């Protein structure tokens, strides 16, 4: 890991949930493992009124509850933290931010290298860059300036295009870091290494050997107090348009020329641009939207989505989406990709399953199952492959067996401390100016372009099916695969088990 040059972080939305739950713990752990620069400050910005000291104490209370937190390191860490209260939607208020920043640059005697992290509601994504620019806070004369945004990067294709246009008025593309925390996951990055550091898989990674691919992003939890946000978003915007399409891109992209931001992001963009556009008819036939209904499992009552706090009683927001899509390029032409994600499914699993073609002829008399490769992104991270062997004894009776590798074996070799959480990795990369694991504008826009027909279908009140909490989604999603003579894998928390039905 490269320790960044002296640089500073300004967090907008400093009193919010993302800052306390994800950003500050990540920054603390980077500091504790000596991966932050020698000289840095963090300035929290939001509307709530705190003095520096009050804000530091709030952080101590919240970080102090975390694992692996050392009181004396925490005390040193908070000395680098400052706070300013302004109305972030008011342009004149940024004069106060500027004077606070100037004072800190002088006090720390650092270059003006600054990362502006927008941990705010998306309604401020256009406003904050504009206000920063109005006060020359995007000026790179005395040090680099970068902004970090998190999803939702737009709400649909048009709003994403508008946001893009607005951002590019004040920041160049290489100054903009769009976080997709899935790209920060070790096992998503491992997809690249697995594919491109092993000669044996790449030749098989084509329509010639692969029959179909499943990508699952399942969650057992419901909306967990985020009903207000989720009801305006749904599974399509919350998970599929970003996280799962990024996983698909890693899985389906061509080998990059080099391992650097441009080469990798060029290949990601190419594959996302090659997604076969969906006609209105395709959406009807190839996409299943579902919403969880009430269910009682082992004497525990799970609320229907419509009864969750913050959700409209007649909400038509999907908490499940399952679909079939194709990639129009030489490698993947004709190979179906089945993708699904949902809340209140039986277990929390993210995985990619590659189903190879069956043998052309059942030489042992029985139709042997096709080979399969399961790449588990979380939990029980690892890889398992299935193949057929001979049962001991007379004749040629066959049996399906498996071979697995668990990512945890590598963790213990490397030592737990060296493994970075997604936010630690992404913050460090942004400070180092490495955009490899951040979504580039063309990739984000291609994703929106691809899902826009599904959004249109939703707006026209397309079919929405109920599914009982704790099941694998609406039966219509099973029918989607059944039409092709296939079934979804029923994964379990433990990578090597199948047919998980427990919530
Ligand atoms: C977030 C979504 O981006 O990703 C959440 O807003 C979802 O709804 C979460 O639960 C899933 O992330 P992870 O890392 O737990 O798989």
Pairing label, strands 145-150, 114-118: parallel
Going by alpha carbons, the residue nearest to atom 13 of ligand 1 is 182
CA nearest to 315, candidates 326, 303, 324: 303
* 377 three-class SS: strand
Residues 6 or more apart whose Cβ sits within 8 Å of residue 151: 178, 179, 180, 242
Q: Would you tell me how many other CB atoms lie within 10 Å of the CB of residue 267?
A: 19
Q: Distance between CA atoms of 4 and 38, rounded to whole angstroms?
A: 9
Encode pLDDT of 447-482 as tens digits.
999 999 999 999 998 899 999 999 999 999 999 999
> Tokens 């963009």 label which residue?
269
**243 a catalytic residue:** yes
Element (H, E) at 59: helix 52-64
Going by alpha carbons, the residue nearest to atom 14 of ligand 1 is 182
Residue 419: pLDDT band with limits 50, 70, 90 = low
CA nearest to 445, candidates 50, 120, 163, 126: 163
Is pLDDT above 90 for 446?
Answer: yes
Q: Does residue 351's CB lie within 6 angstroms of at least one atom of ligand 1?
A: no
Q: Does residue 150's CB lie within 6 angstroms of at least one atom of ligand 1?
A: no
Q: Choose one of 151, 186, 232, 239 to mutate for the ligand 1 pocket test, by most ligand atoms within 8 angstroms of C-beta.
A: 239
Residue 6 tokens, joined:
């002296």
Catalytic residue among 29, 243, 355, 357: 243
Q: How far is the CA of 323 from the centre of ligand 1 (A)?
A: 19
Q: How far is the CA of 396 from the centre of ligand 1 (A)?
A: 47
Q: Distance between CA atoms of 431 and 3, rounded to whole angstroms?
A: 9
Side-chain half-sphere exposure of 340, counting CA atoms within 13 A: 33
Q: Distance between CA atoms of 313 and 291, rounded to whole angstroms?
A: 13
Q: How far is the CA of 499 from the centre of ligand 1 (A)?
A: 23
pLDDT at position 418 is: 61
Eight-class DSSP state of 253: P
Eight-class DSSP state of 306: G
Q: How far is the CA of 476 from the centre of ligand 1 (A)?
A: 24
Percent of the residues in the chain that have a pLDDT greater than 90, as a whole number: 82
Q: Choose one of 17, 152, 219, 343 to mutate for the ligand 1 pocket test, by most ligand atoms within 8 angstroms of C-beta.
A: 219
Going by alpha carbons, the residue nearest to atom 9 of ligand 1 is 239
Q: How far is the CA of 239 from the centre of ligand 1 (A)?
A: 7
CA nearest to 83, candidates 15, 140, 19: 15
In order, the DSSP letters of 222-240 are --TT-HHHHHTTHHIIIII
Going by alpha carbons, the residue nearest to atom 6 of ligand 1 is 238
Encode pLDDT of 239-249 as tens digits.
999 999 999 99
Going by alpha carbons, the residue nearest to atom 2 of ligand 1 is 238
Ligand 1: atom nearest CA of 223 is: 8
pLDDT at position 330 is: 96
Q: How far is the CA of 380 from the centre of ligand 1 (A)?
A: 17
Q: In what order do the strands lie in the sheet with 42-46?
A: 81-85, 42-46, 8-12, 114-118, 145-150, 176-179
Q: Does residue 238's CB lie within 6 angstroms of at least one atom of ligand 1?
A: yes
Is pLDDT above 70 for 309?
Answer: yes
> Tokens 């003095």 label which residue?
51
pLDDT at position 367 is: 79
Residue 14 tokens, joined:
């400093």
pLDDT at position 412 is: 62
Q: Does residue 219's CB lie within 6 angstroms of at least one atom of ligand 1?
A: yes
With beta carbons less than 8 A apart as the criterion, state whether 79 and 39 touch: no
- The pLDDT of 380-390, averaged and rounded, is 90
Eight-class DSSP state of 403: E
Is pLDDT above 70 for 498?
Answer: no
pLDDT at position 43 is: 98
SS3 annotation, 180-225: CHHHHCHHHHHHHHHHHCCCCCHHHCCCCCEEEEEEEEECCCCCCC
Going by alpha carbons, the residue nearest to atom 10 of ligand 1 is 219
Ligand 1: atom nearest CA of 221 is: 10
Residue 141 tokens, joined:
């004369």
Is pLDDT above 60 for 414?
Answer: no
Q: How far is the CA of 209 from the centre of ligand 1 (A)?
A: 32
Q: Distance between CA atoms of 278 and 258, rounded to whole angstroms?
A: 32
pLDDT at position 501 is: 57
pLDDT at position 416 is: 53
Ligand 1: atom nearest CA of 226 is: 8
* 431 three-class SS: helix
Q: Which of 54-58, 246-250, 390-394, 438-442 has the lowest mean pLDDT?
A: 390-394
Residue 332 tokens, joined:
């993947």
pTM over 0.85: yes
pLDDT at position 183 is: 92
Give the 3-state secondary structure percentages of the chain, helix then strand then coil, rounded to 5: 40, 20, 40
């Amino acid at each position: 890991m490269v320790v960044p040059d002296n640089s500073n972080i300004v967090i907008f939305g400093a009193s919010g949930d993302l800052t306390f739950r994800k950003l500050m713990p990540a920054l603390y752990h980077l500091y504790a493992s000596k991966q932050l620069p020698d000289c840095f400050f963090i300035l929290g910005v939001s509307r709530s009124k705190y003095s520096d000291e009050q804000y530091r104490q709030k952080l101590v209370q919240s970080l102090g509850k975390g694992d692996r937190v050392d009181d004396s390191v925490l005390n040193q860490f908070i000395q680098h933290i400052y706070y300013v209260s302004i109305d972030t939607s008011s342009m004149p208020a940024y004069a106060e931010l500027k004077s606070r920043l100037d004072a800190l640059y002088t006090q720390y005697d650092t270059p003006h290298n600054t990362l502006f992290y927008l941990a705010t509601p998306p309604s401020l994504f256009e406003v904050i860059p504009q206000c920063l620019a109005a006060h020359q806070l995007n000026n790179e004369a005395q040090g680099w300036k970068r902004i970090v945004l998190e999803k939702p990067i737009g709400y649909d294709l048009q709003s994403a295009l508008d946001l893009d246009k607005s951002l590019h008025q004040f920041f160049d593309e290489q100054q903009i870091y769009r976080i997709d925390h899935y790209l920060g996951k070790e096992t998503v990055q491992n997809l690249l290494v697995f594919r491109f550091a092993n000669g044996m898989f790449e030749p098989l990674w084509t329509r010639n050997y692969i029959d179909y691919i499943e990508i699952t992003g399942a969650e057992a939890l419901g909306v967990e107090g985020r009903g207000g946000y989720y009801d305006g978003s749904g599974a399509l915007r919350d998970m599929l348009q970003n996280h799962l399409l990024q996983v698909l891109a890693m899985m389906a992209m061509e080998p990059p020329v080099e391992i650097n931001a441009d080469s990798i992001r060029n290949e990601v963009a190419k594959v996302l641009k090659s997604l076969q556009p969906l006609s209105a008819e395709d959406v009807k036939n190839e996409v299943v939207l579902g919403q969880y209904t009430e269910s009682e499992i082992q004497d525990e009552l799970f609320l229907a989505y419509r009864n969750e706090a913050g959700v409209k009683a007649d909400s038509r927001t999907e908490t499940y989406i399952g679909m079939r899509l194709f990639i129009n390029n030489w490698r993947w032409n004709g190979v179906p990709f089945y993708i699904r994600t949902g809340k209140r499914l039986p277990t929390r699993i993210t995985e990619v399953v590659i189903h190879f073609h069956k043998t052309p002829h059942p030489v042992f008399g029985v139709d042997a199952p096709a080979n399969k490769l399961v790449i588990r992104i979380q939990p029980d991270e690892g890889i398992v492959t299935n193949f057929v062997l001979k049962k001991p004894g007379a004749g040629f009776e066959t049996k399906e067996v498996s071979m697995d590798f668990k990512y945890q074996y590598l963790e213990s070799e490397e030592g737990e401390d060296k493994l970075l959480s997604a936010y630690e990795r992404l913050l460090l990369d942004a400070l180092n100016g490495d955009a490899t694991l951040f979504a580039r504008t063309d990739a984000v826009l291609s994703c929106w372009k691809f899902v826009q027909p599904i959004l249109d279908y939703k707006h026209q009140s397309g079919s929405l099916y109920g599914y009982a909490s704790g099941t694998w989604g609406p039966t219509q999603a099973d029918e989607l695969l059944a039409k092709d003579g296939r079934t979804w894998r029923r994964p379990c928390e433990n990578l090597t088990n199948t047919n998980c039905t427990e919530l």
